[in-house]
């Protein structure tokens, strides 16, 4: 029975530590929601910030939300992307979500 | 209950007999789970941070497009937009980028109106005069300059300008301000040489959130050369960037998952002669097929549960305690002023459940199914090989 006890103790220990970290993290997140987020919101509001300051290498990675519409091909159409961040930022899904077909009344009459 | 515990005990002994092989499987399994979970934790934390904070972003930013590119916008547009019903304050902003050739890094320069109220996330204060500036922690470190020190920058006319740093944004705001240098509104215009009557873009306050899309359409109709970007679109951008189903995150995720599938497949097809003989002997001494299946189920669960739990724990420590050192080189790219991660641990339980389902379930199935095939064969033929 010793192996079974060791296994169950190991599993219980790992899961307990994980749960403690998750609960601790959740409490930290709640505290941050109360204190940190309001301060950050005030900062974003006052400075009018629109983007995270993560990638500073190019305009379209520093401000993805403000970038030109053809972001990945900023320099000229079909140019290769320069930076790894460009491969993390995926383009919006292409294509139409709905379509509406409009036909001339005469064409419909012929059918 | 005792019967199940006995079978578990036997399963653990069985695993222990092949300890090096199982230890290797445990290590690979835990590493795969840890890689997948690290990506999920990191992207979820960044996405939640962006979603929670960007609700305070301008309701709408209006850019002018010229030749399909962002261009300076006439400040006369402010009055046109302000005249629309439902629109609050409209502000013309001047901001831009500055390449620091010494540090080989880009800074974001921003002009703000002087106000009396100070920000909580700044040591010192925002600039009030033309020779003052406030800097982000990344700029401060790159320039080795803090509050009270001087910052020398080259303006649009090629002249060196000396500024006194009156404020430094606190580290807690690094994700937002790391590369920022803030000037007074008048000084940034002079620094970049932006002519009077023009601005970089306009920020628009809108009283009713539900009217934003309608007002964006009206602005586009009144001023066809503009591009209104709503707060909803800004939030959507970050939802897309840090979505685990997109971009490189998906590529890493799929690679790790594929590696795991190979491991599970190898396990499924690779039931050894020794294991077959063991099953045959168990059947011969009176074990039922259901007992054999339970034994194999516990073997699979013992490895997958413990490896999953250990992998998840390692991912949590990696991302939220160590600051994701293994993922930073991938994310960083050419970004010189990449902020160190001090992320708030926003964890999505749904993602953990999905990850558990994608790893534990197939592994256990892959352990049980080949054993079931062996267990239903005649014990004598199994033992004879």
Reported as a single tens digit per residue, the pLDDT across B235-290 is 988 888 777 665 666 777 788 778 877 877 776 666 777 777 888 888 888 888 88
Interatomic CA distance for residues B21 and B33, integer angstroms: 18
CB contact under 8 A, A85 and B50: no
Shortest Cα distance from B150 to chain A (angstroms)? 22
Q: Which of A72-81, B2-11, B55-64, B251-260 has the highest mean pLDDT?
A: B55-64
Interface contact A61-B306, CB threshold 8 A = no
The encoded tokens of residue B232 equal 């909803």
* Contacting residues for B3 by C-beta, under 8 A, at least 6 apart: none
Q: What is the pLDDT of residue A64?
A: 85
Instruction: Name the pTM for this structure.
Output: 0.82
| pLDDT tops 50 at residue B203 | yes
The whole-chain average pLDDT of chain B stands at 86
With a cut of 70, say whether residue B177 has pLDDT above it: yes
Between the alpha carbon of residue B232 and those of residues B56, B213, B370, the distances in Å are 11, 9, 51
Q: Are A88 and B241 inside 8 Å of each other by CB?
A: yes
Q: Tell me which chain A residue has its CA closest to the CA of residue B244.
A: A88
Q: Dump pLDDT digits (tens) for B318-349.
A: 998 898 888 887 777 777 788 887 788 888 88
Does B173 have pLDDT greater than 70?
Answer: yes
Best to test chain A binding among B3, B7, B12 (most A CBs inside 10 Å): B12
| Confidence check: pLDDT of A107 > 60 | no
pLDDT at B205: 93
The mean pLDDT value of chain A amounts to 76
Cross-chain Cβ contact B179/A62 below 8 Å: yes
Contacts by B146-150, CB closer than 8 A, 24 or more apart: B147/B123
Q: What whole-number distance in Å separates Cα of residue B31 and Cα of residue B338?
A: 26
Residue B311 has pLDDT above 80, yes or no: yes
pLDDT tens profile B134-143: 999 999 988 8
The whole-number average pLDDT for the span B3-15 is: 81
Q: How large is the average pLDDT for residues A52-58? A: 85
């Amino acid at each position: 029975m010793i192996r079974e006890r060791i296994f169950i103790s190991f599993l219980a220990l790992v899961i307990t530590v994980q749960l403690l970290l998750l609960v601790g993290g959740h409490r930290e997140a709640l505290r941050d929601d109360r204190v940190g987020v309001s301060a950050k919101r005030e900062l974003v509001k006052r400075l009018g910030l629109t983007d995270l300051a993560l990638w500073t290498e190019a305009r379209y990675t520093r401000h993805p939300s403000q970038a030109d519409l053809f972001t990945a091909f900023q320099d000229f159409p079909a140019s290769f992307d320069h930076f790894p961040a460009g491969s993390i930022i995926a383009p919006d899904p292409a294509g139409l979500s709905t379509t509406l077909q409009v036909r001339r009344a005469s064409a419909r009459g012929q059918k | 209950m005792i019967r199940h515990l006995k079978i578990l005990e036997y399963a653990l002994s069985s695993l222990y007999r092949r300890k090096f092989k199982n230890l290797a499987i445990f290590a690979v399994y835990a590493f795969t789970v840890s890689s997948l979970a690290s990506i999920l934790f990191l992207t979820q934390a960044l996405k939640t941070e962006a979603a929670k904070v960007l609700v305070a972003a301008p309701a709408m930013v209006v850019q002018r497009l010229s030749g399909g590119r962002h261009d300076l916008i006439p400040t006369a547009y402010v009055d046109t937009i302000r005249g629309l019903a439902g629109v609050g304050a409209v502000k013309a902003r001047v901001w831009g980028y500055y390449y620091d050739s010494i540090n080989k890094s880009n800074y974001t320069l921003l002009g703000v109106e002087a106000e009396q109220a100070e920000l909580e996330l700044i040591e010192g204060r925002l600039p009030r005069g033309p020779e003052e500036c406030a800097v982000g922690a990344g700029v401060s470190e790159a320039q080795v300059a803090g509050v009270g020190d001087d910052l020398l920058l080259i303006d649009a006319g090629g002249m060196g300008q000396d500024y006194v740093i009156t404020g430094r944004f606190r580290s807690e705001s690094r994700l937002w301000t790391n590369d920022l240098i803030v000037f007074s509104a008048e000084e940034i215009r002079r620094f970049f040489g932006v002519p009077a009557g023009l601005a970089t873009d306009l920020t628009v306050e809108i009283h009713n959130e539900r009217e934003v899309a309608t007002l964006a359409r009206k602005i586009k109709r009144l001023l066809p050369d503009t591009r209104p970007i709503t707060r909803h679109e800004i939030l959507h951008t970050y939802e897309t960037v840090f979505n685990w189903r997109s971009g490189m995150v998906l590529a890493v995720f799929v690679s790790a998952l594929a590696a795991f599938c190979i491991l599970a497949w190898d396990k499924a097809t690779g039931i050894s002669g020794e294991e077959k003989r063991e099953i045959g002997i168990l059947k011969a001494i009176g074990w039922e097929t259901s007992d054999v299946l339970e034994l194999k189920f516990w073997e699979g669960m013992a490895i997958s549960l413990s490896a999953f739990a250990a992998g998840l724990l390692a991912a949590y420590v990696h991302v939220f305690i160590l600051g994701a050192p293994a993922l930073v080189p991938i994310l960083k790219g050419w970004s010189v002023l990449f902020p160190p991660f001090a992320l708030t641990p926003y964890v999505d339980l749904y993602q953990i459940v999905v990850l558990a389902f994608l790893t534990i379930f197939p592994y256990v199935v892959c352990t049980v199914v080949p054993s079931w095939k062996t267990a239903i064969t005649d014990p004598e033929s199994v033992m004879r090989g």
